[in-house]
Structure 1
Amino acid sequence: MNRRDPWPWRGDNPLDRARRIARTYREALMIAAPDTCVDLDAQCRDLGQTWVVPKPLTFGPDDLLSAEEVAEMCDVQPSTIRQWRRRGLATQDTPDGLRYRVADVLDYHAGRRRRRAQAAVKPDMTKDS
């Protein structure tokens, strides 16, 4: 029997799913026990897991960021941003080096999710099972 996956965000990979679930639990904990949530946030940050704690987007859509700044914004390694650049993420050459426009990064990231969602709906039938 072939059961349909009920996950509503088809473009999510397993890590995206885990992060969404963890953030959902964190939001509930913040409501139920705010002091405990703040303490756990601090512990997570101390362990280098800053992705757990939501951070507001402090950049405007036309701001230009370095690969390191984009990596921090997206909770990935700077090498991932360079990989995205090789795969088509737009850059702008500035006197300070290559920069990434925030709107381009958000569009690229959304496009990746859309492509993954389409691949989930239309699996490649040429691959062996």
Structure 2
Amino acid sequence: MSVDPWPWPADTQLDRARRIAQTYREALLELDAGKCIALDERSRALGQGWVVPELVTISMDDLLTAAEASALAGVTAQVIYQWAHRGHLPRCAALDGSTRYRAGDVLDHVARTRRKRAATKTSGHKRV
């Protein structure tokens, strides 16, 4: 059995594809910033805002909507609802009675999931 040389063992195939796409984007930005910006705008217009890196400053105690939590975690809002339903993510009530999710809880769950995935991959076990 050969060892996977990928340096981030917890990455999914989608994570790998996104890292590779970012590498190509960074190279294009250096070679032709105008073309890169045009492609960034096109990607955003097609709903693929993840292509363009964005610096986000957030407090771990911020209460987020499912849409905001999904953007922070890089998943869909439906996944946030599933995590909450399965007890992985506590729900918080906002003043208006709507459901919110604490940013720290979302990031903690993402980190736990990645650590678990990395441990499974490095131990040689595969899910069937």
TM tier relative to shorter chain: 0.7 to 0.9
2:72 equivalent to 1:76: no
Equivalence for 2:32: 33
Secondary structure of residue in 2 paired with 1:72: helix
Deviations 1:62-112 (CA, angstroms, capped at 9, x unpaired):
111011111123332210111122341233223332211112211111111
Equivalence map 1:27-66=2 (5 Å): 27-66=26-65
Distance in structure 2 (CA, Å) of the matches to 1:29 and 1:91: 42
Task: Give the corresponding residue for 2:90.
Answer: 90
Higher relative contact order, structure no. (Cα contacts within 8 Å, ≥ 6 residues apart): 1
What's the Cα RMSD here? Answer: 1.9
Is residue 3 from structure 1 mapped to residue 12 from structure 2 by the alignment? no
Deviations 1:102-124 (A, max 9, x none): 12211111111100000101234
- Number of equivalenced pairs: 126
Distance in 1 between residues matched to 2:4 and 2:18, nearest whole Å: 18
The answer to whether the 8 A contact 2:73-2:107 is kept is no
The aligned amino acid for 1:91 is R
Structure 2 distance, partners of 1:28, 1:61, is 33
Shift of 1:22: 0.7
Q: Aligned equivalents of 2:7 and 2:125: distance in 1? A: 21
Q: Which structure 2 segments of 5+ residues have no match?
A: none
TM-score when normalising by structure 2? 0.87
- On the 8 A contact 2:63/2:103 being kept in 1, the answer is yes
Q: Which runs of 5+ in 1 are unaligned?
A: none
Greater mean deviation of Cα atoms: 86-95 or 5-14 = 86-95
CA distance in 2, matches of 1:86, 1:24: 36
**Aligned-residue offset at 1:20:** 0.9
TM-score relative to the length of structure 1: 0.86
